[in-house]
Amino acid sequence: MTVNYKKDMVVYQIYPRSFMDSDGDGVGDIRGIISRLDHIASLGVNAIWLSPVYVSPNDDNGYDIADYKAIQPQFGTMEDFETLVREAKARSIGIIMDLVINHTSDEHEWFRRALAGEEKYQDYYIIREGKDGGLPNNWGNFFAECPWTKFGDTDKYYLHLFSKKQPDLNWRNPAVLEEVKDIMRFWLDKGVIGFRCDVINVIWKDTLDDGKKSLVLTGSEHYLSKDGCHNILNILRREVLDPYGAFTVGETVFVDLEKARDLTDPARKELDMVFSFEHMEVDQVIVKWFKTRLVPQKLMRVITKWQQGLDWNATYFENHDQPRFLSRFSDAKGHRKECAKMIAGLLLTLRGTPYIYEGQEIGMTNGDFENIGEIMDIESRNIYKLAKKLHFPRALRWKMIMRTSRDHARTPMQWDWSENAGFTTGRPWLKVNANHEYINVKRDTVDKNGVSAFFKQMIHLRKTCPALLEGSFESLFEGRQVYAFKREYEGKALVSVMNMTAKPAKLPQQVMGYTQMVACNYAEEAGDTLRPFEFRLLAKRSDINALGL
């Protein structure tokens, strides 16, 4: 398969636990994915990013890996995985693995042997004495835990930026680098096309000194995108990825434009692109657990800033860590399909590599959870506990979960209107949303005005029209409701214009010369008024042929 990973790729992310269960145990699996490949292929995507499928005790649903070279039995076998790679390839789809190398599981053999006293493996992790009868430092933890846990029955502690079952690796030890190279080659030899690198910009800890006190993450100035991290990425690129022509997208937490530029600068040979977070944070107050109304104009500004600031990057609005994007628009109720299609239009006409998250293509919404007992995510459960300790009223605690929990993205994929949405014949591991009765693949894909039909149309347009793939980006209008931008290639342009609210809005004068409708998320034509969440792709009449349309 010859895909120019940067320009031609449209990625579909699968969260395997929640995608399709083939054996009735209530958990999705690889055979389930294979059985649904035709649906994925029908969208026109050419890559699948698989969230982790490795052996794991599932403290963090697979992001705690106990064996990097074996498949979690619940998900199937290595043979199943090889079949998946083959079957995907037969449909011109490449597989991207999730590479989680900031930490392992505490049940990984390396950590077990470290605990058993083998010094070699103790040096794989970050293990320190306490200071003045306390912890080794004052750092914070991503999951609202204490980042230091007693190392076995010694007086020492090990560092974990995530759960206590996710000990951080010691990247100063060259043996760790060698192990990871070997793991990467193992999967590349199986035919995967690249990696999504989990929290890759935190792997290198410059010092373990106390950090500046911060409400967000105390200590992060000592490990965010440090030179040591750049250096490791460069080694992995040159020695492992390049010989295979493989691709990487880095998940880079708290990344700013300048750091993102360094990490993706082709001359530096590190990552191909990164997932940035600023557009995911426009509706938050200090931390993601406190959300306010999403103000469209703020979103537009951040999108424009990143479009202009980087030559090329990953674009996304959903993944397994984020609430469903359409559910963030407080006035989208009653306009679900239009809003889902507007997001599709935006995603697929920005410059960069688009990532679609499972269920986004049919307009799935946040989960309809009723109480904390239904929430499985470790991060949500921890934050709920912490908020209780801080005496937050129960209603506020629940509101935090209902606005932000990662489980909103993880509810089982809605295939049809039957019990459990066709996801499993058993008991689903996480509550299926009751709205599967009308939001599901079976219904949406036969609807010519369905969300998935619009995704297909937009993906097809990207493939046929160089202006959408390679064209420059220019913001034309950022209003209280309406966003418009231009993609131009060899003097010919396409314009995306959309209303990000439920109130009708005037077409801005900046798009007036573009009278030819190329695509629209409403079935019937309309005049100069943009209806709720309306998206239009426009061109000049005289340019239609030259644009490849």
Give residues in contact with ligand ISL (CB under 6 A): 60, 63, 100, 142, 162, 198-199, 251, 253, 288, 320-321, 379
Closest separation between CB of residue 5 and ligand ISL, Å? 21
Is 492 in a helix, a strand, or coil? strand
CB nearer to ligand ISL: give 85 or 202: 202
CA distance 130 to 146: 13
First to last CA, the chain: 25
CA distance 320 to 270: 25
CB nearer to ligand ISL: give 100 or 177: 100
- 54, 67 Cβ separation under 8 angstroms: yes
Closest separation between CB of residue 321 and ligand ISL, Å? 3
CB nearer to ligand ISL: give 62 or 532: 62
CB nearer to ligand ISL: give 211 or 508: 211
Active site residue 198: yes
Burial class (CB in 10 A: 0-12, 13-18, 19+), 367: buried
Q: Which amino acid is at 400?
A: M
CB nearer to ligand ISL: give 315 or 457: 315
Measuring CA to CA, which residue among 63, 132, 44 is closest to residue 102? 63
Closest separation between CB of residue 349 and ligand ISL, Å? 25
Closest separation between CB of residue 318 and ligand ISL, Å? 12
CA distance 362 to 424: 19
DSSP 319-376: -TTS--GGGGSTT-TT-HHHHHHHHHHHHHHSSSEEEEETTGGGT-------SGGG--
**DSSP3 helix / strand / coil % (the chain, rounded to 5):** 35, 20, 45
Closest separation between CB of residue 161 and ligand ISL, Å? 8
Structure tokens at 246: 């493989």
Closest separation between CB of residue 408 and ligand ISL, Å? 11
Largest Cα separation within the chain, whole Å, is 76
CB nearer to ligand ISL: give 197 or 458: 197
Catalytic residue among 60, 64, 251, 272: 251
CB nearer to ligand ISL: give 277 or 415: 277
Closest separation between CB of residue 27 and ligand ISL, Å? 17
Active site residue 189: no
CB nearer to ligand ISL: give 196 or 487: 196
CA distance 53 to 251: 18
Closest separation between CB of residue 162 and ligand ISL, Å? 4
Count CB-CB contacts under 10 A for residue 434. 11
Bridge pairing between strands 47-50 and 11-14:
parallel
HSE-CB at 548 with a 13 A cutoff on CA atoms is 16
CA-to-CA separations, 345 to 350, 389, 500, 518, in angstroms, rounded: 9, 43, 12, 11
CB nearer to ligand ISL: give 321 or 358: 321
Place of tokens 């149309």: 457
Closest separation between CB of residue 448 and ligand ISL, Å? 35
CA-to-CA separations, 348 to 8, 60, 99, 247, 465, in angstroms, rounded: 12, 31, 26, 20, 12
DSSP-assigned letter for residue 210 = P
Catalytic residue among 198, 338, 361, 444: 198
Is 382 in a helix, a strand, or coil? helix
Place of tokens 């009278």: 515
CB nearer to ligand ISL: give 142 or 514: 142
Task: Please report, to the nearest 10 degrees, the dihedral formed by the alpha carbons of residues 13, 14, 19, 22 taken in order.
Answer: 140
Task: Please report, to the nearest 10 degrees, the dihedral formed by the alpha carbons of residues 26, 32, 33, 38 taken in order.
Answer: -130
CA distance 469 to 473: 11
Closest separation between CB of residue 289 and ligand ISL, Å? 10
Place of tokens 């995510």: 377
Catalytic residue set: 198, 251
